[in-house]
Structure 1
Amino acid sequence: MNLFKRKGKENGGTLEAESLAEPMPDEEFDKELQNLMKEESGGSKKKKGRKKWSKKRKIITIGVVAFFGLFLVFQAAGGGSSAMMVTVSPLEKGNVVEELSVSGPVQGTDSVEVVSNLHAEILELPMKEGDRVEKGQVLAVLDDKDAKKELDIAQNAYDTAVSTYQDKQREAENGYSKAKQDYETAKANYNRTLTLFQAGSATQVELETASNAMEDARRQMNTYTLKDGRPVANESYALQIEKEAFEVEQKKEALANTKVTSPIAGTVVRVNCKVGRFADKTDDDKPMFIINNLDVLEMKINVSEYSIGKVAIGQPVEITADILNGEVVKGEVTSISPTGEEKGNGSTERVIPTTIRIIDQNSRLIAGITAKARIELNRAENVWVVPFSNVIQKPDGTMAIAVAEENKVKMIPVKTGVESDIETEIIPVEEGALKEGMQVINTPSDLLKDGMAVVIAPSAQ
């Protein structure tokens, strides 16, 4: 350990400092320390018992003395003016990653709730929680007696409607045929009477009677509905058939629904029903089953409106969770909602729902837990990197870093690039102004000026 000795000329007012090139022995250090302690206590020469100092305490004290001596040297070198003490770090290149940290639930990519509106008793539950099912696989079997009975009733009503329509169709065809024949007969009689009237062989009354009979026959024929020139039954009978056909389809569907099936391939994650209960009366009115596709997991997160502009589909994501025990799972942003929504809790901030697809599917992640996602927003590699605290922002908005060269401050104008939570990329305004190993002043004071003398503090070991 090197120390500085001071010798002053009381009358001359000058101070000389010389550095010892050789380390001071422990015995000499103890003696010097005792002398200092005596001077502090008013010069008393009364000896007291002293404890032997630990090596750690000696090192700390030597460091303080050396620091003070170094300060005096630079004070003397500056003609009596004080030099500011600074710490420095070597300028190096590295990588900077700008990230956004958010949290949200992990879930399957497809999730469905299976319900039943049938008031039917549950007879079987072949699937349980955790079972994998395929699309269309039976989850529950319900009592189908009522459903079959209702289908029979609906089928009978439909058959009756069809039979009625067919009867009315025959009546329409026969009635129209007769009405048309009656009209043709009345028309021929009118034409014959008109000829006799013109010849003076029929009276006016006979002609009018024939005309009225023909018009009555025409009106009767026009009471029938024609479609493509053929008579059809009244439309109400056809509508009745459609109504009853719809009822039959409904009852067939209800009968089919007595076998509750999965609409997707996935895993049964919840079963909220029991054998012997009614399908439409589940625990706390929850769905009978919840099916998730757990083959591919995803996270649903909400990104602040202030950060969403930096988020884009395809950006890489690192996912962590307590269940992973330090393992990091990779993912990527797959969708961003086109609309925002309220954050809640009285905040005026808006958030945008965003989906992250988890790429590593062979991890210990499971649906239903909360995980933390770090979205990589930007990255810069092999660039000049310094802590945020080392960048000086001037009143005019420009930025710079302060470096120590030959114990003087040199301000180097820079611009910032990609930023992480604690570091930032710096880009010199003047090309080539930054060099590897430059001594960048840490957390520079506002008092630092270009060309100011500084003392570089010894680095802590």
Structure 2
Amino acid sequence: MKYIIPIVALLMTVAVGCQSAANEAGELPESLEEKRALLKEKRSSLSRLTQEVEELEKAVAKQDPNMVAKNRKLVTTAPVERTDFMHFVEIQASVAADDYLNVTSEVAGRILNLTVEEGDNVRKGQLIAELDLEQLDKQMAELEKSLELTNTVFERQKRLWDQNIGSEIQYLEAKNSKERMEKTMETLEFQMTKSKVYAPASGVVEDVYLQSGELASPGMPIVQLLNPNRLKAVADVPESYLRAVKQGERVKIAFPALDEEQMATVTLIGRTIDPSNRTFDVEARIVASSRLIKPNLLATMYIKDKEAKDVVTIPLEMVQQEVGGKDYVYILEDGKAGTFARKVYVKTGDAYDGRIVINSGLEGGETLIMQGARGLANNEPVEVKQEG
């Protein structure tokens, strides 16, 4: 029993030594607790080494300024400015047409000639189709014969009535039959003028429903016209942005497939929330700057949801982060031995389009180190690279 304790102690010593040797060889421990302990130890060592490096740099700078000047790192700088910051949310949208128009015939007839094709531009009053109204022609011929007889009967009945022969009712019936036939003739003559179908408005032929030789009926569309100047961008916006969207405000619409964008005005905000996806409709009027902007084209709607006046903003890539999670930047300072980089801890805010808001740490007017900031140390001597 007296040998057990020394043996256990010896085994523990050997295990600790093996673990240290494994860590020195770059091998990671297997358990999570051991990894956490090792990470904590390494962070502590890194912080201590960084502090020692900074102290050594200061000591070298005091004793040998010439040597420090030779080893200055070249950097570029830019002034820190206070500007207005705007944040936009990107919503997928699509192009829709607000002005579709069906061109129809007012009478039934077979299409003799269709003068347009899909994609053609037409102007208001342009001939679209010609119809064969053979049935109306036959009705017209039949009616003309009937009208001749009716006129003959009326004239004879009128002569008898003028001689006080016959009854008044016979005269009135003949007169009424004649006038009714004349009105029917006027109707047929008017329908005959509808053998040609004209465009009721200017636009582009979007669809062709009937071809030459097919039968057109009253109200049945022959072609569909689209007004390319009446397009809109439609987006389903999440309900969390209800306060961000206002009717009449300007939004940016981008068309990724065309590498094109334009500003548009919000014309409609949906009054209901879609329960299936918790979104509401937003429409913005757009301009068809080219024939490539077509209905159902994918677009992106940029809606401004945040805005800040007179704040400090810097390029997003200039913000660096320590192992502990603190954000910092380097600014240029003047010292007795020349310019050097000073590390400044910052608190960041919203970011958009490559720029980020600095809530604290910078006030504006400082000189921010840009190119060359990565890999710098606090109080490291630097030299500003001259442009050109």
The TM-score normalised by the length of structure 1 is 0.45
Between the aligned residues of both structures, percent identity stands at 17
What is the CA–CA distance in structure 2 between the aligned matches of 1:287 and 1:347, rounded to whole Å? 35
2:47 maps to 1:71: yes
Aligned residues: 288
Q: Distance in 2 between matches of 1:147 and 1:75?
A: 103
* 1:342/1:42 CA distance change after superposition, 3 Å: closer
Q: 1:268-417, aligned counterparts within 5 Å?
A: 268-280=205-217, 287-295=221-229, 297-303=231-237, 306-309=240-243, 310-322=245-257, 324=258, 327-336=259-268, 340-341=271-272, 343=274, 347=276, 349=278, 351-352=280-281, 354-358=283-287, 361-362=289-290, 364-376=292-304, 379-380=307-308, 382-385=310-313
2: CA distance, partners of 1:242 / 1:372? 64
**1:243-267 alpha-carbon deviations (Å, 9 max, x no partner):** 984x667645543332122111111
**Shift of residue 303 of structure 1?**
4.3
Trace 1:36-435 onto structure 2 (pairs within 5 A). 40-41=20-21, 68-72=44-48, 93=82, 95-108=84-97, 110-116=99-105, 118-150=107-139, 245=183, 251-252=188-189, 254-280=191-217, 287-295=221-229, 297-303=231-237, 306-309=240-243, 310-322=245-257, 324=258, 327-336=259-268, 340-341=271-272, 343=274, 347=276, 349=278, 351-352=280-281, 354-358=283-287, 361-362=289-290, 364-376=292-304, 379-380=307-308, 382-385=310-313, 435=363
CA contact (8 A) 2:110 2:213 kept: yes
Higher strand content, 1 or 2: 2
CA deviation profile, 1:201-226 (whole Å, cap 9, x unmatched): xxxxxxxxxxxxxxxxxxxxxxxxxx
TM-superposed deviation, 1:121: 1.3
Q: Is the 8 A contact 1:303 1:354 kept in 2?
A: no
CA RMSD across the alignment: 5.9
Distance of aligned partners of 1:39 and 1:336 in 2 relative to their CA distance in 1, 3 Å threshold: closer
Distance (whole Å) between structure 1 residues aligned to residue 139 and residue 95 of structure 2: 44
Question: 1:297 Cα shift?
Answer: 3.9
Contact map agreement 1:384 1:427 (CA 8 A) in 2: yes
User: How far is 1:145 from its partner?
Assistant: 1.8
Kept in 2, the 8 Å contact 1:269–1:292? The answer is yes
Q: Distance in 2 between matches of 1:340 and 1:159?
A: 65
Q: Structure 2 CA distance, aligned partners of 1:308 and 1:243? A: 66
Cα deviation, residue 164, structure 1 = 10
- SS of corresponding position for 1:257: helix
Unaligned runs of 5+ in 2: 1-16, 27-39, 53-78, 165-171, 320-325, 330-341, 367-372, 377-388
SS at match of 2:109: coil
TM-score normalised according to structure 2 size: 0.51
Structure 1 portions without partners, runs of 5+: 1-36, 51-63, 77-89, 176-232, 391-400, 439-457
- Per the alignment, residue 60 of structure 1 pairs with none
Q: Larger Cα Rg: Structure 1 or Structure 2?
A: 1
For the residue of structure 2 that corresponds to 1:330, the secondary structure is: strand
SS of aligned partner of 2:216:
coil
- 1:165 deviates by 11
